[in-house]
A = this chain, B = another copy of it.
Amino acid sequence: MAEIRRDPVTGGWVIIATERAARPHDFFVSRGERKTEFCPFCEGNEDRTPAEIAAVRPLDSPPDTPGWKIRVVPNKFPALRLDQRLRVEGQGLYHTVQGFGAHEVIIESPQHLTSPTQMTRQDFQLVIQTYCDRSRALSADERLSYVLVFKNVGESAGASIEHTHSQIIAVPVMPKRVHEEMRGCEESYADGGRCLFCDILEQELREGVRVVVEDEDFAVLSPFAARFPFEMWILPKRHSTHFFELDGDLVGGLAAVLQEALGRMEVCLRDPPYNYAVHTAPVGSSQADYFHWHIELIPRVTRLAGFEWGTGFHINPMAPERATEYLRDVSEARLREKVASVSARRRGHE
């Protein structure tokens, strides 16, 4: 029979339907990639994007020319812009903030790759480093409240371009889900003087049934109240509030563990569309040490029905303990093939 589980962080409830024994192939969904002739993100097409904000490229190479490894450009149709004046307006019951903020695109490779599992470890490490650098740079603007790093892969997951890229949105208000997570962590800290995510990690690593990947510095969990089949959280084991404080060694470690989590997911679900988002503490909340940054990874393999919208109450037909088994059971050989094969092919081209 089903179980109704409570997310200890947000207090949300999820129905975990355990009765029907779902299997990974019940969730195969195509990424729906469009093969287009022209890709504005490929090397050589730098003039087809707005001008670079930042890049990883040789010191002597001019901006917006070939030779780069990573480019950061403003979104072509930004929802928000930093050159707007921050202006808050009220009208009766309503509050409005003018479109102040930032909306950036991180182009992660000069080559037309479509997932980070196709990158070398070293190249993906540069991507993670760029997430940190841009987060730190935007967090210096005190008018901003939150910096969100996220990635969409596959058309049905919201990606309009298949060339591997991530986005950063920085906003002058506090997003609701972050507010909920912060509140849950703050209440828990007030009660017991401990970080809720540290407690979750301790319980999960002791019980082991929802641990997909673990190494010295990171753990990948399928969360107890997973809203989606094969949802995963990637957490640093040592308590850390702000994602952008990730230090040198851990950048490589995160790249490795995230590639492994993505690789296991891609083998298990045959390259599904997916999203991940970095959940970090708000800008300037140096006091918020009750929060523990993490990455939430969601394969987009089910459709949301009216029920979910109506209530914020999800039905997940795949128990996270079973998802963990499937993800762990991916053989080393298939994992190496998935995560390393394109790297090998790429080496051939270079």
Contacts and interface: CB of A to CB of B under 8 A. Distances in A.
Nearest to A80: B2
A303 B159 CA distance: 9
Given A13-B171, A306-B157, A311 B277 contact: yes
Interface string A300-312: 0001111101111
Given A306-B276, A312-B175, A15 B296 contact: no
A298 B303 contact: no
A159 B303 CA distance: 9
Contacts of A12: 176
Nearest to A179: B11
Q: Most B CB atoms within 10 A — which of A100, A279, A306?
A: A306
Interface stretch (A61-69, A90-98, A332-340): A90-98
List the number of copies, as a whole number: 2
Instruction: Kindly state the interface size class of chain A when it binds its partner.
Output: 35 or more
26 contacts: A4-B100, A4-B101, A4-B171, A4-B173, A8-B93, A11-B179, A13-B176, A79-B315, A92-B203, A93-B196, A93-B200, A93-B203, A94-B224, A94-B225, A156-B303, A158-B303, A158-B305, A158-B307, A167-B306, A176-B311, A177-B312, A178-B312, A275-B310, A276-B306, A277-B306, A277-B310
Closest 9 CB pairs of A and B: A158-B305, A277-B310, A275-B306, A2-B99, A175-B311, A177-B312, A150-B306, A176-B312, A175-B313
